[in-house]
Structure 1
């Protein structure tokens, strides 16, 4: 498995939004819930602006030679458990389909875990749709363990 030597991580910019949405929609599950159109929906723009304004959120992109090849979002959650601990939630991890199986996902997680450590988090957590069996195997290979049973209640889209 080759790793990409020129992989650069940075916070997402407004001009990255269309490509991020494309990556979120670039699989069978994402295609059902994302709206890839020529004009970006105001909902995406508002969400991006809210994420950008929140110091506990980091929407990050990975690029190679100026091309976006991956994205993820880190949310830092302060809570009382673990003596007032801080945890990082990693979500919306995607690698552009033409760049998969090159070690980019591993580099994304190394970067995200290091960001969480820098912020003082004691835990990194994620959720994954149970249909994403290969992603779950990948997360387990990285050391993540299914320690809790998660539940969701979909309210609206």
Structure 2
């Protein structure tokens, strides 16, 4: 990652992050880079919460990747802290470069340094390529997830 920097996301990064979120078959239907107001509101909440870490990977200080790491305290597993990885995206121009693997290894190391006993994530069932990517990183498909849209 010598050409890249991982840093905490800033307010001015939100437009680039939302464009990356919208740049796939699922995000295109649910994310709107033309209306940043709800994303900026969410960013303020994320940025203020010490259990949330929204990061960007930059090249020449332009965001080209992102993910959110959430630290979840819980009683299960003897009170283990979990790291939840969400919204992993790499800009289309940088996919296949190894950047996604480097970013995920960074997130795993960050979770370990913060005392997490495990790192978990979910991935939409239609994202079979992403599933292969996570399995190559050592993640094991272990649960069936359920969602209820409100």
Question: TM over 0.5, yes or no?
Answer: yes
1:25 alignment partner in structure 2: 22
Distance in 2 separating the partners of 1:15 and 1:64 = 15
Q: Structure 2 unaligned segments of length 5 or more: list them.
A: none
1:2-151 to 2 correspondences below 5 Å: 4-37=1-34, 39-41=35-37, 43-151=38-146
Distance in 2 separating the partners of 1:53 and 1:5 = 30
Distance in 1 separating the partners of 2:43 and 2:62 = 20
Which runs of 4 or more aligned residues in structure 1 lie more than 3 Å from their structure 2 counterparts after TM superposition? none
Distance in 1 separating the partners of 2:57 and 2:99 = 9
Superposition deviation, residue 32 in structure 1: 0.5
TM-score computed with the length of structure 2 as normaliser: 0.97
Give the secondary structure class of the aligned counterpart of 2:33: coil
Superposition deviation, residue 7 in structure 1: 1.4
Q: Structure 1 unaligned segments of length 5 or more: list them.
A: none
